[in-house]
Chains A and B, each alone.
Chain A
Amino acid sequence: EAQVTQNPRYLITVTGKKLTVTCSQNMNHEYMSWYRQDPGLGLRQIYYSMNVEVTDKGDVPEGYKVSRKEKRNFPLILESPSPNQTSLYFCASSSARGNGYTFGSGTRLTVV
């Protein structure tokens, strides 16, 4: 089944403790992206990647890192999480032709 898999689905952590949210797709998509969703603010792009070893900042990249060492994986790294990073995070992927994204199931992160 074609899908984007995110883990974990839920995470509660403490301020400053490094964490990684994993994202993997099995559709051989070139494009991958991370979004955060907050009430009243819609979907805001954090980082995106157009291919292996190619990443770029989205609209709200501060406090986040990403890597794209393999085509299928695009982890989101929070080196020192803060409470304002409490949010619902979605990973998404699409083919190079700019078709619609397939979204993962989401990761609800709470930083206390």
Chain B
Amino acid sequence: GENVEQHPSTLSVQEGDSAVIKCTYSDSASNYFPWYKQELGKRPQLIIDIRSNVGEKKDQRIAVTLNKTAKHFSLHITETQPEDSAVYFCAASSENAGNMLTFGGGTRLMVKP
């Protein structure tokens, strides 16, 4: 089955700096890659996603890039703010697995004012 690895497990940045979180996946048939943000004590919420026919997608300060050859995708947050502090999860799914999501282990992002 699919295996998703996420790095780093914790990331501390200064407010205004950029943050990058990286994930790799194992199933070459995976074609959908969402990112979730989970604030303390709350549910994971979808913040951005990308499909395998696209190499990059941007939404304001958040962008995701996908390298299908390397089976690697990344989340980029620019101009970080304290409210970006949360745990971020990447995930991957493929039609081979019934479109079920497999999650990475999570990255705790801390943005210091």
Contact = CB atoms under 8 A, between A and B. Distances in A.
B3 to A, nearest CB: 10
A96 B49 contact: no
Given A98-B93, A100-B49, A43 B99 contact: no
Nearest to A42: B105
Give the interface size class of chain A. Answer: 20 to 34
A103 B44 contact: yes
A48 B98 contact: yes
Contacts of B31: 98
A101 B91 CA distance: 10
Interface of A: 31, 33, 35, 40-45, 48, 50, 56, 58, 90, 94, 96-106
A57 to B, nearest CB: 11
Contacts, number: 57
Give the interface size class of chain B. Answer: 20 to 34
A61 to B, nearest CB: 13
Given A43-B89, A48-B98, A100 B106 contact: no
Interface in B9-37: 31-32, 34, 36
Contacts of A97: 99
B99 A96 contact: yes
B99 A94 contact: yes
